[in-house]
């Protein structure tokens, strides 16, 4: 078994333990915190956690979506501020090889053409957001403008995902880009 497979199994185990508490008052802010950490470190399947949580406690889908949106935005803004202060060498140390990834190259091309609009689009999509966040920070994009564009995109995305998780989970199988997140979170949709 590879290291990646072991990590996926460990993440699934932790997520399943966490989801037992989906009806507790502290759970929505906690998954928001996890979404914030995911925006910086890229290891937490927050899409899968959000969907699973919405399936487990459907009446709370709106608060789950809001908390994950806020947490994800705060994490991304934190990453952006750190990048702006620490510079590109810090980014290369934190994310080795990121500048050679297809996500980086894609982000560089589209950020150059569309600026803040690509921040919104990536926020609303299943695409990896860290490269766009880093490029926006390196381009000294105004923090308020960046925060609003990302939050609106994340809010739309997470509301749709939470709604589908609570009302029509079978439709989730048809949405591109979230299958691995669902698998990592241990969500099985028949």
Sorting pLDDT into bands at 50, 70 and 90, what band is 185?
Answer: low
Give the pLDDT confidence score for residue 66 in this predicted structure: 98
Record the tokens describing residue 23, joined without a space. Answer: 């009806």
Give the pLDDT confidence score for residue 2 in this predicted structure: 73
pLDDT tens string 103-133: 778 888 888 888 899 999 999 988 888 888 9
C-alpha dihedral over 66, 132, 40, 45, to 10 degrees?
60
Q: What is the DSSP string of 124-159?
A: TSSS--HHHHHHHHHTT--HHHHHHHHHHHHHHHHH
Record the tokens describing residue 139, joined without a space. Answer: 């381009």
* pLDDT cut 90: percent of the chain above it: 41
Domain positions in the chain: 3-184
Distance CA 85, CA 33 (A): 23
Candidates 158, 183, 186, 173; CA nearest to 28 is: 158
Give the pLDDT confidence score for residue 3 in this predicted structure: 73
């Amino acid at each position: 078994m590879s290291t990646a497979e072991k990590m996926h199994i460990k993440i699934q185990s932790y997520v399943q333990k966490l989801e037992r508490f989906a009806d507790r008052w502290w759970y929505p802010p906690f998954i928001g915190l996890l979404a914030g950490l995911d925006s910086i470190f890229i290891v937490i399947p927050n899409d899968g956690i959000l969907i699973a949580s919405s399936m487990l406690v459907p009446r709370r889908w709106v608060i789950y979506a809001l908390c994950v949106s806020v947490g994800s935005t705060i994490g991304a803004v934190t990453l952006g501020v750190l990048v702006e202060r620490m510079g590109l060498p810090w980014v290369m140390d934190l994310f080795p090889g990121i500048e050679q990834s297809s996500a980086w190259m894609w982000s560089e091309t589209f950020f150059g053409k569309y600026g803040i609009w690509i921040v919104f689009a990536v926020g609303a999509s299943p695409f990896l957001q860290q490269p766009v966040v880093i490029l926006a920070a390196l381009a000294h994009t105004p923090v308020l403008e960046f925060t609003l564009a990302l939050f609106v995109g994340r809010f739309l995305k997470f509301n749709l995902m939470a709604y589908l998780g609570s009302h029509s989970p079978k439709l989730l199988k048809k949405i591109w880009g979230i299958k691995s997140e669902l698998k990592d979170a241990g969500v099985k949709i028949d």
